[in-house]
Structure 1
Amino acid sequence: MQKSLTQGAVGKTLILFSLPMIAGNLLQQLYNIADTLIVGKFLGSGALAAVGSSYTLMTFLTSVFLGLCMGSGAVFSIRFGEGEKEKLQESITAAFLLIFTVTAVLNILVFLFIDPILVLLQVPGEIYQMMREYLWVIFWGIPAVFLYNFYASLLRAVGNSVVPLVFLAACAVLNIVLDLWFVLGLSWGVEGAAAATVLSQYVSGVGIALYTWIKWKDFRFRKKYLRPGKGILKELAQFSFLTSVQQSVMNLGILMVQGLVNSFGTVIMAAFAAAVKIDSFAYMPVQDFGNAFSTFVAQNFGAKKEERIREGIRKAVLTAFVFCLVISFGVFLFAKPLMLIFVQPQETEILAAGVQYLHIEGVFYCGIGFLFLLYGYYRAVKLPGMSVVLTVISLGTRVALAYLLSSFESIGVLGIWWSVPIGWALADIAGFWYYRKMRKKSPCR
């Protein structure tokens, strides 16, 4: 099913399109959390620290081709909005070849440089081998993550956010079942948790690729497009590589912060691993809403429906604001019970550090909510470079302040926690200022 987002009530269209995306990413977080929950409860804090740090690393690595998929998705949405069927087919073929090549090279490199990566992350000696074993298995799932995200981006670009949800739901359920079997039943330790994730990823990745190939002939590769023209390559490069840079910069900053967190020892590593899972789960819906908003804007940008874009912006900002306020209140109020999902009650130091993190981050979710809308908007109106700028402001501030403030003994790890909302706020200010400036020059912007 394809659906045009250029018609119908704006608010209703946005929300109905975004709901399957939100549900899908919540399910994706579930199978990420399954590793953390089972490992933390049954294998101990050392295993929790190893898996948590691995999650941050994998988020950075996969952000390279995830950004390429998101950027290509913006091109697909614009072409769909324009009604350019031939150009859409050419874009699909060229984008797949491009992103597949990048993914293959990345996959080879991470296997070759696994040990230098762990050294760079300042992984403590007591969990080094455990983390290496987990990563060696989890790296085999990178091609599956590429397949799922490419076809999910394609289907969402043409207004179908339901099918990606179905395959992700199957993946999430399978991952939880396999986690319990491999870790508890077969006693495979962290390698079992990794194997469960990888097998589940292949089910969703290969499944959605086959489904799209069989169901939609228009989305199959065309022999005549295997050597795409310079124009389409330039357009894909503009969107995809800049979006990839934006995603990579964002996660590189997080990875650098992870290295700093690791230097504070296993207790802070474990607290950070659990708290970041809660953090990500809390604001994930507004991130997906931002991606849905981006598709909405891109389709209407292609269809040149300027007033509809303006109305969409107003309603998206209001929706994100209300949602983030509710989530902030919930996370702040229930910080300790949320941490207890991942950590044993007797591990009081880990609990205290995690609750402290959530009490600081949880108050400021509106900052990240608005930032996701800005990322999506600039990507949709052919200004992906501005998303990179906002990411550099947000993460640059976060990394610089984290290292600076935490170096003071009187501040310590609190400096890392406070650097995050400050970075969000500065990027939001810059993004809204530039939007007001651009709106005066172009009605569509």
Structure 2
Amino acid sequence: MAQLREMTTGPSLPLIFSFTLPLLLGNLLQQTYSLVDAAIVGKFLGINALASVGASTSVVFLILGFCNGCCGGFAIPVAQKFGARDYVTMRRYVSVSLKIAGVMSVIIALLTSLLCAFILRTMQTPENIFQGAYSYLLVTFIGVPCTFFYNLLSSIIRALGDSKTPFWFLLFSTILNIILDLFCILIMGWGVTGAAVATVFSQGVSAVLCYFYMYRKFDILKTEPSDRRFRPELARQLMYIGVPMGLQFSITAIGSIMLQSANNALGTACVAAFTAAMRIKMFVMCALDSLGMAMATYSGQNYGAGKPGRIWQGIKSASLMMIIYVAVVAALIWGFADKFALLFISADETEIIADTALFLHFNVSFFPLLGMLSILRYSIQGAGYTKLAMFSGVSEMIARVLVSVIIVPLWGFVGVCVGDPTAWLFANLFLIPAFIYVYRRLHVIVTKER
């Protein structure tokens, strides 16, 4: 039987750290997908092809963010029932979530595939990169079921306290993705479409491996026929938690789409700089996302066990780890941002390299805000208050829209650079009082139950 871990006893810092580490490695591998795609496309196919991949980044985040958010939300009742040791209901949640995922992922794939051209036109995608952007986006949307199922299965495994198993499958998938990238682009000559095909196929393989391993090795998940029956009451609860969590990502992405649309209007060079900078930023912020994901499981299990005091201990431990990490990353980015840009851009593209470094300098300076956002938001979600966490996404959206409409037209690419930090600030202004409310609410619930 694979190793499961309860996070309801013991010192919080080593528990969260050891759980976060495999999550971080896994997230780094997922970002390696994006880095490899962008690096190979930028180096072998040129700046226009790199801009084609990046022109729809925010739209991809809108759709895949919704899917990934739903998956994380579906896993929260699993973590809560695991913490409460109600394994029968836990298995039934797992079974129902797989059925819901199958229906949702196919519907999303169909709708988004049909709307690709409309989306890119709405985002003011430059004509010289439109066809490449369309091909990349279409293949990505067709592959939504692969992404949906991998994220759901890995979220369920993490909910049981095992953050290592999804990492090993992702490691295999990343290596496969690199090989397929080179094959599809250099040998088959499929251009940016080949990069998308490689990523989707690799995630599909990872999802299949995850599924078979999970049901063969986790005895606690082995079901009886009655467990596999569709239960509308459990489906409603999963949707009640999962959909707001998915919408939170999508609402955040709407602001990002507005910001990217404003950046697209600045021309191909700004799109290329934005693409390179976002790939680097997403890579270095993996640790903050991983820490937040660990807090979702930690918070969910301790909520299920009726131990809200341990959630506050976890917040303090996670914040300490976040501050140390941010200090190290800030030093690296401030010292070597232009060198990192050379992964995607030729050395003679000096203007694009300078803009890439400028974007990174602005963003990394405000990473403490992003770190606190991740810790608080995921902790609130883990306790089941996903609707409340969703409103932090609304705050981010409002901030990015204001920057896109007011600041970017005045400041140009500098305005694009301040978009994310402004959104993080707005989100934290909501999340801090929201967490205080949730924490007090949990204490009241536990007191009543006793």
Query: TM-score, normalized by length of structure 1?
Result: 0.95
- Give the corresponding residue for 2:16: 14
Between the aligned partners of 1:440 and 1:204, the Cα distance in structure 2 is 40
Does residue 420 in structure 1 map to residue 430 in structure 2? no
- Give the corresponding residue for 1:265: 267
Could you tell me whether the CA contact under 8 Å between 2:308 and 2:442 is conserved in 1?
Answer: no
Between the aligned partners of 2:440 and 2:77, the Cα distance in structure 1 is 25
Could you tell me whether the CA contact under 8 Å between 1:152 and 1:164 is conserved in 2?
Answer: yes
Residue type of the partner of 2:376? Answer: L
Residue type of the partner of 1:200? Answer: S
What is the number of residues matched between the two proteins?
A: 443
Shift of 1:227: 5.1
Does residue 31 in structure 1 map to residue 33 in structure 2? yes
Describe the SS at the equivalent of 1:76: helix
Between the aligned partners of 1:234 and 1:133, the Cα distance in structure 2 is 36
Please show how residues 347-362 of structure 1 align to structure 2 within 5 Å. Answer: 347-362=349-364
Between the aligned partners of 1:414 and 1:195, the Cα distance in structure 2 is 34
- Give the corresponding residue for 2:104: 102
Could you tell me whether the CA contact under 8 Å between 2:51 and 2:272 is conserved in 1?
Answer: yes
Please show how residues 84-123 of structure 1 align to structure 2 within 5 Å. Answer: 84-123=86-125
Describe the SS at the equivalent of 1:345: coil
Shift of 1:244: 0.9
Deviates more, 1:188-197 or 1:150-159: 188-197
- Give the corresponding residue for 1:435: 435
- Give the corresponding residue for 1:64: 66
Between the aligned partners of 2:21 and 2:204, the Cα distance in structure 1 is 24
Between the aligned partners of 1:436 and 1:152, the Cα distance in structure 2 is 30
Does residue 174 in structure 1 map to residue 176 in structure 2? yes
Alignment match of 1:334 (pick from 333, 336, 341): 336
Please show how residues 133-148 of structure 1 align to structure 2 within 5 Å. Answer: 133-148=135-150
Please show how residues 20-419 of structure 1 align to structure 2 within 5 Å. Answer: 20-219=22-221, 223-225=225-227, 228-408=230-410, 411-419=411-419
Q: Are residues 203 and 439 of structure 1, via their aligned partners in 2, closer, same or farther at CA, if it must alter by over 3 Å?
A: closer
Describe the SS at the equivalent of 1:407: helix
Could you tell me whether the CA contact under 8 Å between 2:110 and 2:142 is conserved in 1?
Answer: no
Describe the SS at the equivalent of 1:443: helix
Deviations 1:235-279 (A, max 9, x none): 212210110111111222212222221111100000000000111
Q: Are residues 191 and 419 of structure 1, via their aligned partners in 2, closer, same or farther at CA, if it must alter by over 3 Å?
A: closer
Deviates more, 1:271-280 or 1:229-238: 229-238
Give the fraction of aligned pairs with identical amino acids, expressed as a percent: 30
Deviations 1:119-150 (A, max 9, x none): 11211111111122222333332211112111
Deviates more, 1:59-68 or 1:226-235: 226-235
Between the aligned partners of 2:137 and 2:236, the Cα distance in structure 1 is 35
Residue type of the partner of 1:398? Answer: R
Q: Are residues 389 and 138 of structure 1, via their aligned partners in 2, closer, same or farther at CA, if it must alter by over 3 Å?
A: closer
Query: TM-score, normalized by length of structure 2?
Result: 0.94
Deviations 1:76-131 (A, max 9, x none): 10010000111101111111112221111010112222211221121111111112
Between the aligned partners of 2:132 and 2:60, the Cα distance in structure 1 is 16
Shift of 1:287: 0.7
Q: Are residues 271 and 96 of structure 1, via their aligned partners in 2, closer, same or farther at CA, if it must alter by over 3 Å?
A: same
Shift of 1:226: 5.3
Shift of 1:198: 2.0
Between the aligned partners of 2:361 and 2:264, the Cα distance in structure 1 is 21
Unaligned runs of 5+ in 2: 446-450
Shift of 1:440: 4.4
Residue type of the partner of 1:54? Answer: S
